[in-house]
């Protein structure tokens, strides 16, 4: 059995000191949104609770699907680097960026420089720019493929983009790892499912992503962005279905209006053509309560690997 912990949308706070120059960009809308909404709906104490419980669960690997920061300020990026180092070694944690990590032009390059060791494939250099995605990590029977949908957008937009170049490279990785009989997991911030979020927050290139999975197969897709505990399904190779799993924001309080904070613990068993995944969601059941198992369900993946 392989155990994978998945959490997302950390939105580490509080915001550091910010200058008027910092606000001469899209950050002004994010700054206002933080003080109106996120500052009161997010709780860093819950993040600490989840992190401690996650580490006690001793998963084989940890997947983080983006939005570690809020406005991609330099101090936030450094704070997130220190937080990652406290969570574990780069070889044990795979990160993909979210739209808040790429909040303004140039931010994606800064996070790649700061967190690159957590966003690189095996035996390759740390990504220097957004063009270095996807990456591949092999852990036991599992192939983790990290895709970046993050990009800087105009104010009031939080959309992502799955490019043709990433499609081509990701397809090659899916084909290669599928022939080896590995359990292929795609990590992406934005959900590659139509209607999963509002138009202003959607992934551009959903059709491209789904066509790729239909042609080359995959066993599981993990995403963040929506702050919701969801399970969607898309078509895989040969008509099989591929679970697409979302998770709440890691610091979401119980009175914030969205799914309260939790992380996903996925237990993967089986063999090619007969994989099974048990999804356990763990978080506080009530404000101030301990982390407990909130729900359990089986996600059966019967994807047929291309011959």
Could you give the CA distance from residue 26 to residue 39 in angstroms, rounded to a whole number?
Answer: 18
Average pLDDT estimate for 238-255? 90
Domain assignment present for 306: no
Average pLDDT estimate for 16-31? 55
Compute the Cα dihedral for 281, 287, 288, 289 and give only its sign: negative
Q: Strand, coil or helix: what is 190?
A: coil
| Other CB atoms within 10 A of residue 210 CB | 20
Domain assignment present for 307: no
- Residue 38 is predicted with a pLDDT of 54
Domain limits for position 280: 2-301
Query: Which residue stretches of 34-128 are H helix?
Result: 39-41, 44-57, 74-87, 107-115
Is the pLDDT at 290 greater than 80, yes or no?
A: yes
Domain assignment present for 149: yes
Q: Strand, coil or helix: what is 39?
A: helix
Tally the domains of the chain: 1
CA distance readout (Å), 303 to 243, 270, 297: 10, 12, 18
Domain assignment present for 237: yes
Give the tens place of pLDDT for each residue, 177-190: 999 999 999 999 99
- Residue 256 is predicted with a pLDDT of 63
Give the tens place of pLDDT for each residue, 111-159: 999 999 999 999 776 676 778 899 999 999 999 999 999 998 877 788 9
- Looking at residue 7, which CATH number applies to its domain? 3.60.21.10
pLDDT-derived band at 273, boundaries 50, 70, 90: confident
Is the pLDDT at 299 greater than 80, yes or no?
A: yes
H or E, element range at 215: helix 206-216
Is the pLDDT at 303 greater than 50, yes or no?
A: no
Is the pLDDT at 258 greater than 90, yes or no?
A: no
């Amino acid at each position: 059995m392989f155990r994978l912990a998945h959490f997302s949308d950390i939105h580490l706070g509080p915001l550091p000191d910010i200058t008027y120059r910092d606000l001469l960009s899209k950050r002004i809308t994010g700054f206002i949104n933080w003080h109106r909404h996120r500052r009161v709906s997010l709780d860093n104490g819950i993040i600490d609770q989840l992190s401690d419980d996650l580490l006690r669960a001793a998963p084989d690997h940890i997947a983080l699907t983006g939005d570690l920061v809020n406005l991609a300020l330099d101090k936030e990026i450094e704070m997130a680097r220190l937080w990652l180092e406290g969570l574990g070694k780069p070889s044990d944690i795979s990160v993909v960026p979210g739209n808040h990590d790429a909040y303004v032009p140039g931010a994606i390059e800064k996070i790649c420089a700061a967190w690159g060791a957590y966003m690189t494939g095996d035996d390759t250099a740390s990504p220097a720019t957004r063009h270095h995605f996807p990456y591949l990590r092999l852990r036991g029977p599992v192939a983790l493929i990290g895709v970046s949908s993050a990009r800087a957008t105009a104010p009031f937009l939080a959309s992502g983009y799955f490019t043709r170049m990433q499609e081509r490279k990701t397809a090659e990785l899916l084909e290669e790892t599928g022939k080896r009989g590995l359990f292929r997991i795609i990590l992406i911030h934005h959900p590659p499912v139509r209607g999963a979020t509002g138009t202003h927050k959607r992934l551009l290139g959903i059709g491209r992503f789904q066509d790729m999975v239909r042609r080359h197969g995959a066993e599981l897709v993990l995403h963040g962005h929506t702050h919701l505990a969801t399970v969607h399904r898309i078509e895989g190779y040969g008509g099989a279905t591929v679970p697409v799993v979302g998770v709440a924001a890691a610091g979401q309080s119980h009175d914030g209006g969205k799914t309260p904070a939790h992380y996903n613990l996925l237990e993967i068993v089986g063999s090619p053509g007969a994989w099974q995944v048990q999804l356990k969601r763990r978080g506080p059941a009530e404000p101030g309560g301990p982390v407990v198992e909130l729900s359990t369900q089986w996600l059966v993946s019967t994807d047929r690997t291309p011959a």
